[in-house]
Amino acid sequence: MRKPKRLPFEELEPYLLPRPPLLGPPAPSEVVDWSQLFANTNPVEIEVGFGKGLFLTTVGTANPQVNYLGIEIVNKYVLFTATRLARRNLRNVVVTTADARIFLRERVAAGSVRTVHVYFPDPWWKHRHQKRIVFTAVFVREVERVLRPGGRLILVTDVADYMAMARETVLVSSSFLQEAEAPGQHEPTHDLDYLTNFERKFRREGRPIYRAAWATR
């Protein structure tokens, strides 16, 4: 994939979530006001760990009546994706650099999100890396809190054990999420017609992909 030339910060700014003040505990006002951020009351969906942003650019283009917030812990991916968004003038997508586990807890209002997407989270199998796993019981309970009634959590991974662990985590730690019909696998019609960059890579390698969705009752 070609690397887009980074645009000057002023051109990326509309696609980056404004930062709260650096000092002090989060104030209630730091909870993101979606209607203010997107200047409309359309439904909001969140992608956790968007990497190079293929999903956000595709769905942002296909669904202008939906607002998307991408949360990614690696700043260079945030700037890379913001550049993609700016080149397409996709004002219904905003991205931010943060640990999604903390961001959901501190900056997302209860019952305000339609869907949380988690695509190919890092498995972090090594014991010393386990604190970095995204899909934990705490995360699931935060997702449950931020989802509106009828909202959905979607997970796609190439790691069978991760999917098994996620199913078990939801079962054990959630009272409101119930497994629902998983999203289908789309057959690509062109080179970038995949859910995400990692899906593209893994499907080209012929690896199996596991998909699941949970809906709030």
Among residues 19 and 35, whose Cβ is nearest to ligand SAM?
Answer: 19
Is 71 a binding residue for ligand SAM by CB under 6 A? The answer is yes
Retrieve residue 106's tokens.
């501190």
The catalytic residue among 99, 122, 158, 161 is 122
CB contact at 8 A, 216 and 147: yes
Q: In the complex, what is the shortest distance from the CB of residue 159 to ligand SAM, in angstroms, rounded to a whole number?
A: 10
Q: Which of residues 91-120 bind ligand SAM (CB under 6 A)?
A: 99-101, 119-120
Element (DSSP H or E) covering residue 143: helix 137-146
User: Which member of 16, 46, 56, 73 binds ligand SAM (CB under 6 A)?
Assistant: 73
Identify whether 122 is a catalytic site residue. yes
Q: Is 2 in a helix, a strand, or coil?
A: coil
Q: In the complex, what is the shortest distance from the CB of residue 39 to ligand SAM, in angstroms, rounded to a whole number?
A: 25
Residue nearest to ligand SAM (CB): 49
CA–CA dist 154, 146 (Å, integer) = 14
User: Which member of 48, 90, 93, 147 binds ligand SAM (CB under 6 A)?
Assistant: 48
Rounded-to-10 torsion of CA 48, 111, 168, 182: -70
What does DSSP say about strands 113-119 and 210-216: parallel, antiparallel, or unpaired?
A: unpaired
User: Which residue from 6, 7, 5, 37 is spatially nearest to 19, judged by alpha carbons?
Assistant: 37
Is 196 a binding residue for ligand SAM by CB under 6 A? The answer is yes
Known catalytic residues are 122
Residues that bind ligand SAM (CB under 6 A): 48-51, 71-74, 77, 99-101, 119-122, 134, 196-199
